[in-house]
Each structure stands twice: as C-alpha cells, then as structure tokens.
Structure 1
Amino acid sequence: MDDRRPPRARLVGAALLLLLPAAAVAASPWHAEAYLVFLALPPTLGGFLLAPRLAWLGAGLAAAATAVGTAVSPWPWAGALVMAAACAAVAWGSRSGGLLLGTTAATPLALALVSPPASAALGIAPGDPVTPARVLVAAGFVALGGAWTALVLTTLGRHWRVPRPPGETARGARLYGIVLVPLMAVATAVCMRWFPDSHAWWVLLTVLVVLHPRYDRLRSRAGARVAGTLAGGFAAALLVAVVPDDRVLTVLGVLCALAAAWANLARPYAQYAALLTLTVILLTSGTGEPFATDLERVGLTVLGAALVLAVVVPGRALLDRRARRDPAGDDAAAVPPGADPAR
C-alpha cells in the first residue's frame, strides 16, 4: 500500500525549519517585527493544502496584502473597497476549497489597514506617515516568512498526502459572500476612520474566522472563538507577568504560532483560537500594558462574534419563515450562509 502520510520525524524536522526565520528575527534587534514573519505562515499552509505549488501563492498573497494594506491605510474608504474586493475573492475561492487560504491571506490586509506595521529599529512609530520604506519593510518581513515556509513545505512535503479542504457549493459561496463583503467593508471603514493604529483590527480577524459558509460551523465557531480567546488571553497574561524579557516572549510566541497552525488542521477550533490569541499577544507583548491589551482583545473578539451572529441569525430565521410559507420556493433550499442541503 502506498502510504504517503508524512513521517513523524519529517514533520518535526519541517516544524523546526519553519521556526528558523521567526526565531532569527526574534533574537535580533528587529524582534518587534517577528509577528510579521508569522503572518505568512497560515496562508502559505492554506495554499499548500490545495496543492504544494500553491504554497507560493499563499506566501505571495500575504506579502501583497501587507503592502497594499499599509499603503492604503491613510484612506478609510479606499481601505473598505480593497477589503470588499478581497472578501469577494475569498467567497469565490471557497468553491474550490480555498476558504482557509483566502481568510488567512485577508488577515494581514486587515491588520495593515487598521494598524499599519511600524518598525522600532528604523525609528518608525505607529502614528508616523506611511512611506514607501515603511511599506517595503512590512511586506519584506512577511515575504521572508512566506518564502521560507513555502520552500520548506514544497521541498519536504511535495510527496505528502494531505487532506484537501472541501469546496463549498455555488449557493453557499454566494450567500457567504453576500454577508462577508458588506460586513467586512463597513467594519473596516469604521475601524480605520475612528480607531486607527489600534487593536480594532481584531474585530475584522474575528469576523473572518467565525463567519463560515456552513451555518452549523458558524454557530460552533462563535462560541469556540470567544472561549479560546479568553483562555489564550489568560495564559498570555500569566506568561507576560512571569517572563519579563520581550525577546523570550517573542520566541514563545513563535512556538505558539507553529502550534496554532497545527491546531487549525488537527484540533478543535477552541484550541486553535486559544493558541492564535496567545501567539498574537506574545508577539506584540512589547506594546502597551499586557493586561489591558488582553482585556481589549477579548472585548473585541466578543464584539466581532456578536456582529456575525447579529447579521446571520436573523437572516437564517427570515429564510426559515419564508421557506415554511412557500416550501416549493427557491428559499426552501437556501441557507444564510450555510451548508447546501444537497451537500
């Protein structure tokens, strides 16, 4: 029998190799930018799951999203239009199994639009004007992480047999896009206009990861996202209180990033959400008060999940009522956004 599942030793070796760029940056004077190296890991992995060569596509999308988001960050309505276009592409790509690739590639876009990356090593503060150098530095770190991740995955894993993400039906993808595009566009404009250079992008991240074309997955994700964020925030607060060195915290954040990527594929969603929260807080632990930051991110996560439920649940109830009144109509088979009954 041809068993091409990756051997455990090779998986461990690949994991250690994937850590190298982020660990090197974390140990350098650029340690505050280590989180940018991590940003490319999820979309690169998402592309690899579709086809090994598409790992490079995921890496490129992450770097391009960071560059575009940073460049457009001074203009809220332009940012909203860019986000709307990106989310339309996410919905379209979900038909071929590209949901993970699309949502994780949109994450650096959300971050860069609301809180464009700064660089302490170059003397670039969060509120400074956006310059070409700032755009290139931000995109460069993401490109470094993406290129290395793609190289490791395509070299060591080109013969691995990995489960390809399932595609969504045309109806499910269409309804998903109908909800995702305007919700993300409006939320992006609000965050950029009234909460620039803040953690408000966490609301956008929550919408991206909670909203799902299948309604059953959406409901379970909303609760798991909030629970995981609470657990991850509590763990991060303890670590920040016990470990005073920012560089050690950054290295721990890199390890959590790798664990989060694995959990996204093999563990319950609440565990992934906890590790993702822990990763981001540890990698950005040098900015602001850690406990206040934890509380802020938990609150923003609850807000993002509530936004999704506030839009989707009434829409689901409305379509259910219309379906009961007209069982033969088109709405009888529709779900907002959710699994097509024909699946």
Structure 2
Amino acid sequence: MPRTRLIVAVLLLFAPLVAVAASPWHAEAYLVFLALPPTLGGFLLSPRMAWAGAGLTTAGMAVGVALSPWPVAGALVMAVACALVARGSRLGGILMGTTATTPLGLALVSPPTMSALGIEVGDPVTVTRVLAAAGFVALGGLWTALVLTVLARGLRTPEPRRESMVAARRYAAVLVPLMAVATFVCMQWFPDTHAWWLLLTVLVVLHPRYERIRSHARARVLGTVAGGFVAALLVAVVPEGRVLTLLGVLCGLVTAWANLARPYSQYSALLTLTIILLTSGTGDAFVTDLERVGLTVLGAVLVLAVVVPGRALLARREDGPAAG
C-alpha cells in the first residue's frame, strides 16, 4: 500500500505542470517546476517544512522580480538568502535552501516574461508581473506540499546530514560573498540573459564539506554537457515548442526520482535536460543550450578557484601551530 500511495503521489505532483504545459501558458511551465525541488527538499526534513519550502520559493520569486532593476539591492538580498542557506545546513536543510534560492537568482537576473500577458524581455517591473511569476511558482509549490502531506505522510525518508557549526561558518564565509558579487555582476552587466545559470552552478557545486566540492563540480559539468547534448538533439528533431515542453515534464518526473536515487552526475544531466526543454519556447533553444553549458563550466571553475587555494591556506594555518 505505501508503494501504491507513493506512485500516486509522484504522478499527482506533476499534474499542475502537465496542465500548464498543455495550455497556452506552456512557456511558463518551468516556473511551476522550480517549486518542486525545494518543496521536496523540505519534506525530507518534515511535512511541515514542505510548506516552508513552497513559501520560501514563492517569496524568492516575488522579491527577485521586484528587485530586478536594482543590482545592489539584489546582491544584498542574495547575501541574506545565502546566509540563511548556510545556517540551515546545520539542520540538514541544504537541499531545500539551495533549490529555494535558485528562483531568486533567476528572477533577479532574468525576470520571467509572459507573452500571454504582453510581458516581454526588458519590460518594466509591475505588480502584475510580480504576482504572475510568483503565482506559477506558488501553484507548483503549494500543490506539491499538499500532495506530499496527504499521500506521503509516514513515508520513511533518508536522515538529512547535519553540518557542524565550523563547517557551516566556513560554508557561509565562501557562499555569501561569492554569490553576492556574482549576483551583482550578472544583474549589472548581463540582465535578461541566462547568466543566472552561473548562480545556479555556484549554489549546487559549493558544499560545506570540502570533499564533496570537487566531485560536485566534475559531476555538474559532465552532467550539464550530457544533458545539453541530448537537449540539442531533441530541439533539432522536435521543432514544436509545446511538444518539447511536455517532454520536459516527463524528464522532470525522472529528475525528481534521480535526485533521491541516482548519482549526482545523472541528476545534473536530467535537470539540465528538463530545464532546457521547459524553457524551449523562450528563445533559441540551441543557443541557450550552449550558453548554459559554458556558464556551468565557468561557475564550477569559479568555485574551485576560490575554494581550493582557500582550503590550502587554511590547512597551512592549522598545521603551523601544530608544527611549532
């Protein structure tokens, strides 16, 4: 019976995504999908935290769109969000925190466009734009929290890894300034582009445990290249945007499973494939594919360029008193 409930729950999770993907609003289906990972990440902590994940993701999208014209304000908000992510890592909430912060980065750098409402790239921020973008995210998040609360209650989930205070502080010391500076640069000089993918890469590659960073960086790059290659083939073979969006929904279903059961490189490949297919109607998908692969490599290199020398310096400082 629990297995049956779990299958029904997984299928129901994607009902709003399928509905939006099959509607005239199919280009906005990715906004619904963005709420799934943080809500699922919250549920791994407790059913109550699933609702928190949905709420944080929706709030991040609304705040990001509202502040998108102001790089300094956006960088400060990102710094606060990342400080909370680091603090949450002590409770095992790093998955929920990083995935909930991703929509904030997207909205700050490239606030969603909605052709059905006449909202295009470069248009001014309005209350309608803020509410519409946040509404799609809320739809995905609140529905996911409801389904999980009703059908997955009592399900045994993996015990989250709680980071030590020292690890969390070191994580914050790198994550907060790195994301704040990267957000300002992306908002100031690369607005309304896919530069937010750089922020996503930093969020998912950087980790409180040093041994996980290199493996995450390598897996992220390889997974993104593989997922981008498959997406490029699909875009070339299937020119219809709505069909690509529906394929993205199917990939999203597999991605949700891979996030819990498969190696990170496979999850990364599926996530890349899902997002590219879900956003295939927002521009030249092939060019977008190449941009995201390049930004992923850049983000991984940026993290390693900051963390590896810093780790070596810290090791020398710790070895110094011991040697003396």
Same fold by TM-score greater than 0.5: yes
Amino acid at match of 1:308: V
Alignment correspondent of 1:164:
159
Secondary structure at the aligned position of 2:24 is classed as: coil
Residue in structure 1 matching 2:168, options 155, 170, 173: 173
Q: Deviations over 1:10-53 (max 9, x none)?
A: 22211111111010001111111100000100010011000012
Pair 1:322 & 2:317 matched: yes
Alignment correspondent of 2:257:
262
2:78–2:179 Cα contact (<8 Å) kept = yes
Q: Deviations over 1:52-77 (max 9, x none)?
A: 12111100011000000000000000
Secondary structure at the aligned position of 1:96 is classed as: coil
What is the TM-score when the length of structure 2 is the normalising length?
A: 0.98
Secondary structure at the aligned position of 2:90 is classed as: helix
More helix by share: 2
Q: Deviations over 1:61-102 (max 9, x none)?
A: 110000000000000000000000000000001000010110
4+ residue runs of structure 1 moved beyond 4 angstroms?
A: none
Match runs of 1:138-153 below 5 Å: 138-153=133-148
Alignment correspondent of 1:58:
53
Alignment correspondent of 1:337:
none
- Unaligned 5+ runs, structure 1: 1-5, 330-343
Pair 1:14 & 2:9 matched: yes
- Offset of residue 251 of structure 1: 1.1
**CA distance in 2: counterparts of 1:287 and 1:154, whole angstroms:** 33
Residue in structure 1 matching 2:115, options 93, 116, 120: 120
Say which is worse superposed, 237-246 or 223-232, in terms of deviation.
Answer: 237-246
Pair 1:130 & 2:89 matched: no
- Unaligned 5+ runs, structure 2: none
RMSD: 1.2
Between the aligned residues of both structures, percent identity stands at 75
Alignment correspondent of 1:106:
101
Residue in structure 2 matching 1:307, options 295, 298, 302: 302
**CA distance in 1: counterparts of 2:159 and 2:250, whole angstroms:** 25
2:16–2:139 Cα contact (<8 Å) kept = yes
Secondary structure at the aligned position of 1:137 is classed as: helix
Q: Report how many residues are paired.
A: 324
Q: Deviations over 1:274-305 (max 9, x none)?
A: 01100110011112222221111100000100
2:9–2:147 Cα contact (<8 Å) kept = yes
Q: Deviations over 1:229-250 (max 9, x none)?
A: 0000001011111112111111
**CA distance in 1: counterparts of 2:211 and 2:20, whole angstroms:** 40
What is the TM-score when the length of structure 1 is the normalising length?
A: 0.92
